Structure 1
Amino acid sequence: MSAPIQESSSFQLPPHFMATLIESANDAIISKNLDGIITSWNKGAERLFGYNATEAVGKHVSLLIPLDRLDEETAIITRVRAGEPVEHFETVRRRKDGKLIDISLNVSPIHGLDGQILGASKIAREITDLKVAEQRLEVSEEKYRTLFDSIDEGFCVIEMIFDEFGKATDYRFLEVNPAFERQTGFVQAQGKTMRQIIPNHDDSWFEIYGEVATKGEPTRFENYAKEIDRWFDLYAFRVGEPHENKVAVIFVDITSRKKSKEEGEKLLEQLAAERAKLEYLFDKAPAFVATLQGPDHVFELTNPAYRQLIGHRDVVGKNVLEALPEISGQGFKELLDKVYLSGEAFTGREVPIQLQTEPDGSPEQRFLNFVYQPTFETNGEVSGIFVHGIDITDQVQSRREAEIANRTKDEFLATLSHELRTPLNAVLGWSRLLSDESLDDEERVRAADAIQRNAQLQAQLIEDILDVSRIVSGKLRLETRPTELSTVVEAAVESVLPAAQAKGIRLQRVLDSGTSLVSGDPNRLQQVVWNLLSNAIKFTPKGGRVQIRLERVNSHIEIVVTDSGIGIPEDVLPYVFERFRQADSTSTRNYGGLGLGLAIVRHLVEMHGGTVTAESDGDSNGSTFTVELPIIALRSVDVITENSPEREHPTAHRQVSFECLPELEGLHVLVVDDEDDARQLVTTVLQKCGTRVTSVGSAAEAFEALQKLRPDVLISDLGMPGEDGYSLIKKVRALPPYEGGQTPAAALTAYARVEDRMKVLRAGFQIHLPKPVEPAELVAVVANLAGRHDES
């Protein structure tokens, strides 16, 4: 019934609101398409032309046009097609009863959402009375006088008064009709000038009437008389000879209409204010919200939370399957249809949905709580569906992870009971048999061997459990010292060799004699190698092959254990280093163990500043585990080998003298710690190795220095006042690479729990160094970080 109101924000007034305004207008408001077919018809049009909407809508507008006026319609449509409005066009039209009426037309183009012109909106007002008045004035003075005295419109003839410069400054009332006094409230105005009646009368009146008098062109206009607080609709035209400067004015008091319009505008302002509030709530709501229209469920509005949920796709104006094709076949379209047809709301709880949440991403599973709420027209019919809800994917995943953790814990406890009881059963059984004197010497030897073997197995299980406990509590510490890895590897190989020989497994060693030293705890490193070799032997069938390779690769040393065993399933591979994880935890499994060994390996390797990875092509294709450890940045050191008399901490009785490798010389390291002593210790150690050090006491200073100086490595404390190390590394990682965003970084902190280490790595640090740190370990870490930075 009017040109579409294009949505400029994410909220739209109900469609029936504008329709109500149009229906209540006094003027005839008609819309038609570019072919002249009437598409809407309000009550004002019904009053003016006599046709109701049923009779008029769908008919050609020529229904209202006399034959001799049809060319006017062609001209009007041509101007509308060009996007040009037609204003105050006076013409004649035919009513339903055949009566011709004078009307004034205002015609405006109707634009679609894409800017194309779809048709025209026409406002028609009857001016028959004014036209008749003009005609009667022209016919005769007698008729003029009759009209003059009888019409309801105010009428007057004025004489314009000009100054010596030709500017209209006043006018005198020559004639006024009875309606004049009623319309204006001016009593006995005839013969008086306007300035005499209202001295401060607005100059616009004089300018308009003066132009009509001088140019002779009639004009119709609306104007406000401030002094009497009235609005008038006026038609002014010149009468008499031009030199007489006479102007006739026909007018109607439209104050009530204007006030109604002002009240309507105030109402619209109030609605706009309410709309702004609703828009704010709509946009800021934490829940996702969308409105769908019609039986095809076409998106009308979406709020930011909804747009984020669907990957910021443009869905407005599209039906639900066109906008979100990935939900086809998941039942949501059917649910919407049911709600639309039944008019009953639907509530979904923890509903899974495959949804594309990134613009160019693939659909991923989300979980939603939502409501489909039908919306209704004033007649009670369903018009659309209001969708609102929340994304609970994180809560569901957290709960499921907790359930998995609890199930894993239960499985571990069951496995622990089994693994502890199995060797205990052998120990107790053979112990009882040893007390039986009927055993011969060979059987007694076999019993002693069985007791010893199972006691050692149980001791290893207990040691693994204690190691995990130390890891979880952050109490596992390293006795680091310069260590030759080949010695560690040889010792581990010797300890597993009997098990390999018992299964006929060929154990191959490929040891690079040119490997350098590492800074580490030789006992813990041997534990790492032993665990990897033991696993390889356990999961390799008889007659298989296990290889351990030790070699230097750039700035680190690699220990690679490869076997020809059963392999690791693809779905298990990402979790092999997690505690209690096993490919088979059932009571029918083929292999024993608690699922702790690889978790301990990973933690010990990372405590040494290294990494461990696992690879496998799946079932029966073997596995490869690779440990990378940084090379120690020392030349002249005390080295622990298999012939060393004692394995004691190098600082127990003597100080280690550092002669650093050339790789450290010239490096620039940025150190940040709010504790002066701790900062000075790190600075001193690194400077002794020829490293250039910039030390600062706060995260803010560190961030500024990093951008300006571009160091090779960042060493940062975590717990600092004002801004901590986590905040610092997040800001650094947000920088582009050319501003230092990829600077290698280590966290040097007294927070030493496992969760602290994980938080450090997730935040963006490459390495977690728990305090107190050994100088040798610190130097090794810096060398390793700088080496990685060079490779990248």
Structure 2
Amino acid sequence: MATEVHLGRVIRRVKFLRGLLLLLFIGAVGFAINVVHDLDQGVRSLRTAEQNDPVWVASHLQAELLQLKSDLSQFALGYGSANDVALRFDIAWSRINVLQEGKLSQIIGSFPVDASILAELEAEFQSLEPAIKRLNSNNINEEVGRSIAEDLVLSLNGFNGSIKDFLVSLAQATTKAETEFRAELLSYSHTVVYLSLTILCLLGIFILELVIELRASRKTESEMSILATEAQSAARMKMNFMSVISHELRTPLTSIIGGLTLLKRRLDGTMKDATAHKLLDVASRNGDRLLALVNDILDAQALSEGKVSVQRVPEDLNRIVISAVEGCHSYAEQLGVRYQLSTPNEEMVVLTDSARVNQIVVNLISNAAKFTSAGDVVEICLKRDGQTARIEVTDHGIGIPADRQSAIFTPFHQINPGTTGDNKSSGLGLSITKQLIDLLDGDIGFNSVEGRGSTFWIELNLLSEFSPRVETQYRPAPVSAAT
């Protein structure tokens, strides 16, 4: 028991350790996946910023504004064309729109810079658009056009410093963001390295634990195999010893029992000493019981060694059951118990060994008689269940405790030693019965309630070519001490 408790504790600890390692491994893997996901998002953001560089677009806007002012100045001096001015104006406005919409607008919004200059430029371009269109019309005076161009140059001069400041702030913010991302990327790379090492260590520990457990289980299996072999060897030696002793006891026991029987017969009419008669009866009963024990041991030994053979021929179970009940009649009378037998009005033909079936039934009904109070009845019922013959033996004795029912067919098992008085058993009867019914390809089982009694049953397959027909032979009286 202490070994089982210790083994249970070790198993629970191993399971707890394995579960903890598995949880740590899953947690590390989940954290690594989260880190890789964040790293991937950062890389995507950086690529987006590089592909849509706001500094590059803003610098081009500044260049376009300078070029627009240059074209307006040349037009005011009489060298440029109004079409060139209008084209340059549209290009500069498109740069403003690009910086205020889409991904560039989101990128600029994420930086701590003042982007109000873009809105001011857009409002200024909206106010300058009519003048640009008028400048590009064919019916305008040359002097008027030059004057308009000069005014446009003056209106755009106020944005030079603001555009420059915006460009510098944007460049600084972009550089700072790239620097922070590279530092974060470096930190992530270190984290990934540590996580990878942690995962590898946990995986190695988990595999090592499995290898250790596998080796331990193999060692335990080997030890258990050795113990099982030793137990089988010890059991075999025990049975061999008991078999030798039983063989040596059978001959003198037979002689003793025979001598006691002859002595009782000779003294029945001459000896008047009641005490002597009682002593002879006690000696005779104990001799019979000892001989039965010897026979049980020899049968158990022969069954364990596979030396028991069966000869199967068609037999009517009615005849076998009636013969077994009649053979146990005197035994039941000694215990003050009656047998009540019920058989069907048909032949119950099975392909079996009648001697072995008789031995099985005798074991069951004699065992039932031991656990039945004097004056009570043991019920034996033979009946058909489809193509199966079923023999049930019911007693109204002490029953079998639920916690002991699983071992009822093991050798030398006794339900409650001492409860059967002078009719104690060897604990081999039910074990022999189970092995014999297995040899006959039958089934055995029982139903028992503690304090109310037990019903043991066996089942054998009927021969299909023997169809049921009504007959009266072998049918006993409904209630009898002998049948």
TM-score, normalized by length of structure 1? Answer: 0.33
Give the aligned partner of residue 583 of structure 1. 415
How many angstroms apart in 2 are the aligned matches of 1:606 and 1:268? 68
Aligned to 1:463: 295
1:627 aligns with 2:458: yes
**Which sections of structure 2, spanning at least 5 residues, go unmatched?**
1-22, 35-57, 71-90, 126-155, 211-215, 468-472, 475-483
**Are 2:15 and 1:11 aligned?**
no
Q: 1:261 aligns with which of 162, 184, 188?
A: 184
Tell me if structure 1 keeps the 8 A contact 2:446–2:454: yes
Deviation at 1:264, TM superposition (A): 1.1
Cα distance, 1:595 vs. partner? 0.8
> Which structure's CA Rg is the greater one?
2
Partner of 2:384, secondary structure, is strand
1:211 aligns with 96
| Match of residue 273 from structure 1 | 196
Q: Aligned in 2, Cα 1:259/1:157: closer, same or farther, shift over 3 Å?
A: closer
Inter-partner Cα distance in structure 2 for 1:548 and 1:213: 104
Relative distance call for 1:562 and 1:8 in structure 2 (3 A) is closer
Correspondences of 1:744-763 after superposition (within 5 Å): none
Q: Report the secondary structure of 2:403's partner residue.
A: coil
Structure 2 Cα separation of the partners of residues 208 and 274 of structure 1: 55
Work out which of the residue numbers 339, 350, 355 in structure 2 matches 1:507.
339
Give 2:398's match in structure 1, choosing from 552, 556, 566. Answer: 566
Conservation of the 8 A alpha-carbon contact between 1:611 and 1:629: yes
- The alignment status of 1:593 with 2:425, answered yes or no, reads yes
Q: Counterparts of 1:632 and 1:497 in 2: how far apart (Å)?
A: 30
SS at match of 1:602: helix
Give a deviation string over 1:296-354, Cα, whole Å, max 9, x none.
xxxxxxxxxxxxxxxxxxxxxxxxxxxxxxxxxxxxxxxxxxxxxxxxxxxxxxxxxxx
- Please tell me the residue identity of whatever aligns with 2:186: E
Map 1:109-120 onto structure 2 (within 5 A). none
Question: Match for 1:11: what amino acid?
Answer: G
Give the Cα separation in 1 of the matches to 2:425 and 2:351. Answer: 30
Q: Which amino acid aligns with 1:273?
A: S
What displacement does 1:510 show?
Answer: 1.3
Contact 1:511 1:551 (C-alpha < 8 Å) held by counterparts = yes
How big is the shift at 1:590?
Answer: 5.6
Q: In structure 2, what is the Cα distance between the partners aligned to 1:450 and 1:606?
A: 36
1:269 aligned partner, one-letter code: V
Within 1, Cα distance between the matches of 2:289 and 2:347? 33
Which residue in the other structure is 2:315 paired with? Answer: 483
Deviations 1:163-208 (A, max 9, x none): xxxxx9x999x9xxxxxxxxxxxxxxxxxxxxxxxxxxxxxxx999
Q: Which runs of 5+ in 1 are unaligned?
A: 1-6, 19-155, 163-167, 175-205, 224-231, 288-389, 637-641, 644-792
For residues 609 and 598 of structure 1, what CA distance do their matches in structure 2 show? 16
More strand by share: 1
- Given residue 463 of structure 2, which amino acid in structure 1 is its aligned partner? I
Q: How does 1:193-232 map to 2 (within 5 A)?
A: 210-211=95-96, 221=107
Counterparts in 2 of 1:584 and 1:157: CA distance versus 1, 3 Å: closer
Q: Give me the whole-angstrom Cα distance separating, in 2, the residues matched to 1:208 and 1:423.
A: 124
2 CA distance for matches of 1:562 and 1:219?
95
Aligned to 1:659: none
Distance 1:510 1:216, change over 3 A: closer
Name the CA distance, whole Å, in 1 between partners of 2:288 and 2:67: 124
Q: Which amino acid aligns with 1:259?
A: R
Going from structure 1 to structure 2, the CA distance change for 1:423 and 1:541 (only over 3 Å counts) comes to farther
Aligned residue identity for 1:615: N
* Aligned counterpart, 1:664: none
Please list, as runs of the form range in 1=range in 2, the aligned pairs for 1:438-453 lying within 5 A after superposition.
none
- What's the secondary structure of 1:572's corresponding residue? helix
**In structure 2, how many angstroms separate the alpha carbons of the residues matched to 1:615 and 1:452?**
35
Q: 1:590 to 1:271 in 2, by over 3 A?
A: farther
Q: Which residue of 1 aligns with 2:328?
A: 496
Residues 661-693 of structure 1: CA distance to partner in whole angstroms, max 9, x if unpaired?
Answer: xxxxxxxxxxxxxxxxxxxxxxxxxxxxxxxxx
1:589, distance to aligned residue in structure 2 (A):
6.7
Tell me: CA distance 1:482–1:543, structure 2 relative to 1, closer, same or farther (3 Å): same
TM-score normalised by structure 2 residue count: 0.52
2:444 corresponds to which of 605, 612, 619 = 612
Matches for 1:182-201 after TM superposition, within 5 Å: none
Could you say what secondary structure the match of 2:188 adopts? Answer: helix
The CA RMSD over aligned residues, in Å, is 5.7
Q: Aligned residue for 2:356?
A: 524
Matches within 5 A, 1:28-107: none
Q: Is the 8 A contact 2:390 2:460 kept in 1?
A: yes
C-alpha spacing 1:430/1:458, structure 2 compared with 1 (3 Å):
closer
Residue type of the alignment partner of 2:96: E
* CA–CA separation in structure 2 for the residues paired with 1:545 and 1:532: 14
Q: Which has the higher contact order (CA 8 A, sep 6+)?
A: 2
Please tell me the residue identity of whatever aligns with 2:324: A
Residue equivalent to 1:57:
none
Counterpart of 2:330 in structure 1: which amino acid? Answer: P
CA distance in 1, matches of 2:365, 2:420: 24
Q: Distance in 1 between matches of 2:92 and 2:440?
A: 95
CA contact (8 A) 2:444 2:456 kept: yes
- Mapping of residues 366-381 of structure 1, within 5 Å: none
Residue 383 of structure 2: aligned partner: 551
Per-residue CA shift, 1:236-284, capped at 9, x if unaligned?
6458864789632123243543321110121232244345446757987
Distance 1:562 1:216, change over 3 A: closer
Once the two structures are TM-superposed, the CA of residue 535 in structure 1 deviates from its matched residue by: 0.7
Write out per-residue CA displacement over residues 587-643 of structure 1, whole angstroms, 9 at most, x where no aligned residue. 997642221111111222233232222223223x3322111211122349xxxxx99
Aligned to 2:366, which of 530, 534, 540? 534
The 1:209/1:594 distance shift into structure 2, 3 A limit, reads: farther
SS of the counterpart of 2:297?
Answer: helix
Q: Secondary structure at the match of 1:571?
A: helix
Aligned mates of 1:430, 1:480 — CA distance in 2: 33
CA distance in structure 2 between the partners assigned to 1:208 and 1:13 by the alignment: 51
CA distance in 2, matches of 1:208, 1:486: 116
Cα distance in 2 between the residues matched to 1:529 and 1:633: 23
Matches for 1:220-369 after TM superposition, within 5 Å: 221=107, 237-238=117-118, 242=125, 247-248=163-164, 249-250=167-168, 251-252=171-172, 253-254=175-176, 256-274=179-197, 276-277=199-200
Partner Cα separation in structure 2 for residue 568 and residue 160 of structure 1? 103
The CA deviation at 1:496 is: 0.9
CA distance in 2, matches of 1:530, 1:262: 89
Q: What SS class does the counterpart of residue 609 from structure 1 fall into?
A: coil
* 1:593 aligned counterpart, secondary structure: coil
Q: Helix, strand or coil for the counterpart of 1:624?
A: strand
Q: CA deviation at 1:285?
A: 8.7
How far apart in 2 are the matches of 1:591 and 1:281? 65
CA contact (8 A) 2:257 2:287 kept: no
- Following the alignment from structure 2 to structure 1, what is the Cα–Cα distance between the partners of residues 192 and 345? 87
The number of aligned residues is 329
Q: Is the 8 A contact 1:505 1:542 kept in 2?
A: yes
Compared with structure 1, are the counterparts of its residues 609 and 275 closer, same or farther at alpha carbon in structure 2 (3 Å cutoff)? same
Aligned residues of 1:580 and 1:595 also touching (Cα < 8 A) = yes
**Matched letter for residue 521 of structure 1:** D
Same amino acid, percent of matched pairs: 23
Partner of 2:42: none
Change (3 A) 1:209 1:593: farther
Which residue type is aligned with residue 482 of structure 1?
A: P
> How many Å apart are 1:423 and its aligned residue?
9.9
